[in-house]
């Protein structure tokens, strides 16, 4: 090769190479500038500020004062603190029971069906497309202890009506039902896509070995979708622990704090009591808890790619 290959940039002269690199970097940062500014202002800075706010007393008129762990103490001593965490955890666990295992089972069944697949896929995803506020307000009407849809149906079955959102024993469960209804579709479709990547030979081999349907699921389907199952578990925990819109629109945290959640309490601190310090402290605690799951998620998705 007598002539330098044209695909090797800057092989000939040093100064042009330097100039070229400079130009490339300048234009790269030009392209990056818009996104960099938005990330800096609306993502990176708020994350840092979360830590700062948690340790300050700030009324946004006088200069902020560092108060150490006072905000955390305020939050700890709140009578709603314990119910908020307990409710959030119970809500997350209940949402997992309904919203984690059921979509997987639905996906398995849908994957076996040979008819009406497009319809079923469309229908299961329909509630996901509703604006969440619409879905929640719709269920608020269904939960009406008088002539709401659910009590109508109980009435048809000659069962006594429930007070749903108004009773401490059913309020949280009612929230879980709405939340599951409106989120079930995305999990189902993700599992369905994962199931379709399982090679047929594995099932054939399992069948030749005499494995029945249950054992085929146990020994082929689940191991083959193990990673996506783990990822979805973590993502769902992270998403449901941030529950806010359901208590905000349905119950206002009541009755008797039966549905107050951590994010709802955080919202109340900031916007009802204008105590952003205590609110941020609460947000920081939730962040640290959720980081555990985020880090686990990161490790699993690394393993999956590598």
Binding flag, residue 220, another protein (CB under 8 A): yes
Which residue number, 60 or 66, has a Cβ lying nearer to another protein? Answer: 60
Of residues 151, 148, 126, the one with CA closest to residue 137: 148
Q: How far apart are CA 7 and CA 77, in angstroms?
A: 67
What phi, psi does 88 have (nearest 5°)? -60, -45
- Asked if 204 touches another protein (CB under 8 A), the answer is yes
Please, what is the minimum distance in Å from the beta carbon of residue 68 to another protein?
19
Residue 153 sits at the vertex; the CA angle it makes with 148 and 156, to the nearest 5 degrees, is: 125
Check binding of 219 to another protein (CB under 8 A): no
Which CB sits closer to another protein, 2 or 47? 47
Give residue for tokens 């995803």. 125
Stretch that binds another protein, among 67-75, 87-95, 168-176, 197-205 (CB under 8 A): 197-205
| Residue of 15, 63, 68, 146 that binds another protein (CB under 8 A) | 146
Q: Which of 25, 59, 168, 169 binds another protein (CB under 8 A)?
A: 25
- Binding residue (CB under 8 A) for another protein from 96, 138, 229, 233: 138
Of 221, 251, 257, 268, the residue at the interface with another protein (CB under 8 A) is 221
Out of 113, 160, 272, 306, the residue judged to bind another protein by CB under 8 A: 113
Residue 49 contacts another protein per CB under 8 A: yes
How far apart are CB 210 and another protein at their closest, in Å? 13
By CB under 8 A, name the one of 152, 159, 256, 273 that touches another protein. Answer: 152
Query: Nearest distance from residue 15's CB to another protein, in Å?
Result: 19
142 binds another protein (CB under 8 A): yes
**Does residue 47 belong to the site contacting another protein (CB under 8 A)?**
yes
Between CA 152 and CA 144 the distance in angstroms is 10
Q: Does 31 bind another protein (CB under 8 A)?
A: yes
Q: Tell me the window of 77-85, 89-97, 109-117, 164-172 that interacts with another protein (CB under 8 A).
A: 109-117
Determine if 155 is a binding residue for another protein (CB under 8 A).
Answer: yes
Nearer to another protein, 90 or 217 (CB): 217
Kindly state the smallest distance separating residue 98's Cβ from another protein, in Å: 12
Q: Out of 84, 189, 234, 258, name the contact with another protein by CB under 8 A.
A: 189
Which is closer to another protein, CB of 2 or CB of 156?
156
Measured from the CB of residue 89, what is the shortest distance to another protein in angstroms? 16
φ/ψ of 57, rounded to 5, equals: -105, 125
């Amino acid at each position: 090769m007598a002539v330098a290959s044209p695909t090797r940039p800057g092989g000939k002269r040093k100064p042009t190479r330097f100039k070229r690199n400079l130009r490339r970097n300048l234009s790269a940062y030009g392209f990056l500038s818009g996104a960099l500014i938005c990330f800096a202002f609306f993502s990176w800075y708020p994350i840092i500020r979360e830590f700062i706010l948690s340790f300050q007393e700030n009324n946004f008129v006088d200069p902020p004062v560092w108060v150490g762990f006072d905000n955390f103490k305020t939050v700890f001593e709140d009578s709603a603190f314990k119910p908020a965490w307990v409710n959030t955890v119970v809500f997350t666990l209940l949402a997992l029971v309904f919203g984690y295992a059921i979509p997987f089972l639905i996906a398995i069944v849908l994957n076996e069906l040979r008819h009406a697949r497009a319809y079923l896929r469309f229908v299961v995803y329909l509630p996901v497309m509703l604006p969440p506020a619409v879905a929640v307000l719709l269920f608020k009407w269904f939960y009406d202890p008088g002539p709401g849809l659910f009590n109508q149906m109980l009435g048809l079955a000659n069962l006594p009506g429930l007070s749903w959102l108004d009773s401490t024993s059913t309020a949280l469960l009612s929230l879980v039902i709405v939340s599951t209804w409106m989120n079930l579709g995305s999990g189902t479709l993700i599992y369905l896509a994962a199931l379709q990547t399982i090679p047929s030979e594995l099932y054939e081999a399992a069948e030749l070995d005499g494995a029945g349907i249950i054992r085929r699921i146990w020994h082929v389907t689940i191991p083959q979708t193990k990673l996506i199952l783990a990822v979805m578990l973590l993502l769902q925990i992270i998403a449901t622990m941030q529950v806010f819109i359901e208590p905000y629109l349905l119950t206002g945290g009541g009755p008797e704090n039966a549905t107050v959640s951590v994010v709802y309490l955080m919202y109340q601190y900031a916007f009802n009591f204008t105590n952003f310090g205590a609110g941020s402290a609460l947000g920081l605690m939730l962040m640290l808890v959720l980081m555990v799951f985020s880090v686990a998620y990161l490790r699993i998705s690394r393993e999956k790619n590598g």
